[in-house]
Amino acid sequence: MALDKEEMLELYRKMCLIREFEETVSKFFSQGQIPGFVHLYIGEEAVATGVCANLVKQDFIASTHRGHGHGIARGASINKMMAEIFGKVDGYCKGKGGSMHIADVELGFLGANGIVGAGLPLAAGAAFANKYLNNNGVSVCFFGDGASNRATFHEALNLASIWKLPVVFVNENNMYGISMSQERHQNITDIADRAVAYGIPGVSIDGNDVMAVYEATAEAVKRARAGAGPTLIECKTYRHHGHFEGDPTVYRSEDEVNQWKKKDPIPRFGARLLEMKIMTQDEIAAIADEVKREIEEAVAFAQRSPVPAVEELLTDVYCD
């Protein structure tokens, strides 16, 4: 086993933290306390968690419009994220960016991104920088099944392949691009098959199994750090909520959602840890309490923070 007990507990705790963060965002959004749009990652936590557990300081990640899980897994401040989502001055963008503009470059978190597929060339560029600086760093790009149809996907994979860039392309195949099912938007089942066209390895894995994600990423990261170039990892997963909060999700059946909820990555990993006697029921309860407290503090921090002043409306728009 590649991970020790503490590391496995940390994977579990991280997934719980992402879940609690987003369930809380969902609650406050439905009460009208959060402005703008939010896209939740609930159900997909194993991907960000399993991937980011392999990363070190000099590594980068590029995210998507569904970016809370990526930021939390990379170690972004929960308080600053929550304040940003609430539109408050103590948030990552002083409350003027919202969910889709959260970034922390110091942490190598190149940001959430409202432009589908925009992270792919950003990650390739960051990987080029790491290679040029010869610092052993890698970059990771998270992107959806819908994004895998964009030109940026093909350009980034081709360039990363010929230049042997240290990048891991992590496809989050949650089976839908908004209301469009994968079978309606592409004529393949496994997005990993597209790696063949660029002469790089492509693997398709169970994205709701955090250990499977961890192990596939470990191999891809090792390859990238060794100078052998990029890998495409397709993680099959599912979002429990709609595309955005408020989406009535008329395009999928309740039965389909319920089938996927049975494969929820968090209770699944919890059961595995119990079975392996790595964790006890008491520890599960303690993690739930700890995470709940952490998120309550983040909400209190966000609620205490003021909204931006009207005079600040046009600052930070361009480089001041």
Ligand X SMILES: Cc1ncc(C[n+]2csc(CCOP(=O)(O)OP(=O)(O)O)c2C)c(N)n1
Cα separation of 88 and 84, whole Å?
A: 6
Token pair in block for residue 80: 């600053």
Residue closest to ligand X, measured at CB? 144
Cα separation of 119 and 122, whole Å?
A: 5
Q: Is 95 in the site for ligand X (CB under 6 A)?
A: no
Q: Is 270 in the site for Mg ion (CB under 5 A)?
A: no
Q: Measured between alpha carbons, how far apart are the two ends of the chain, in Å? A: 50
Q: 178 or 307: whose CB is closer to Mg ion?
A: 178
Q: Is 80 in the site for ligand X (CB under 6 A)?
A: no
Q: 178: phi > 0 → left, psi -120 to 50 → alpha, else beta; which?
A: left
Of these, 14, 65, 88, 131, which contacts ligand X (CB under 6 A)? 65
Q: 131 or 243: whose CB is closer to ligand X?
A: 243
The entry of Mg ion, ligand X, none near residue 245 (CB within 5 to 8 angstroms by kind) is none
Q: 187 or 281: whose CB is closer to ligand X?
A: 187
The helix (H) or strand (E) run that includes residue 169 is strand 167-173
Q: By three-state DSSP, how is residue 231 classified?
A: strand
Taking the complex as a whole, how short is the minimal distance between the CB of residue 2 and ligand X, in angstroms?
Answer: 28
Taking the complex as a whole, how short is the minimal distance between the CB of residue 178 and ligand X, in angstroms?
Answer: 5
Q: Is 174 in the site for ligand X (CB under 6 A)?
A: yes
Q: By three-state DSSP, how is residue 206 classified?
A: strand
Q: Is 188 in the site for ligand X (CB under 6 A)?
A: no
What does the longest C-alpha to C-alpha distance in the chain come to?
A: 57
Q: 142 - beta bridge partners?
A: 170
Q: Is 115 in the site for ligand X (CB under 6 A)?
A: yes
Residue 200: DSSP 8-state? S
Q: Is 144 in the site for ligand X (CB under 6 A)?
A: yes
The entry of Mg ion, ligand X, none near residue 125 (CB within 5 to 8 angstroms by kind) is none
Taking the complex as a whole, how short is the minimal distance between the CB of residue 146 and ligand X, in angstroms?
Answer: 3
The entry of ligand X, Mg ion, none near residue 243 (CB within 5 to 8 angstroms by kind) is ligand X
Q: Is 203 in the site for ligand X (CB under 6 A)?
A: no
- Which residues ranging from 160 to 219 are in contact with Mg ion (CB under 5 A)? 174, 176-177
The entry of ligand X, Mg ion, none near residue 111 (CB within 5 to 8 angstroms by kind) is none
Q: Which stretch binds ligand X (CB under 6 A): 26-34, 51-59, 83-91, 142-150?
A: 142-150
Report H helices in 78-209: 78-85, 119-133, 151-162, 182-185
Q: Mind giving me the DSSP string for 245-271? A: TT---TTS-HHHHHHHHTT-HHHHHHH
Token pair in block for residue 37: 């749009």
- Give the count of residues interacting with ligand X (CB under 6 A): 16
Token pair in block for residue 105: 């470059």
Of these, 114, 212, 240, 290, which contacts ligand X (CB under 6 A)? 114
Q: 99 or 130: whose CB is closer to ligand X?
A: 99
Token pair in block for residue 122: 């950003």
Under 8 Å between Cβ of 204 and 236:
yes
**Residues contributing to the site for ligand X (CB under 6 A):** 64-66, 114-116, 144-147, 172, 174, 176-178, 243
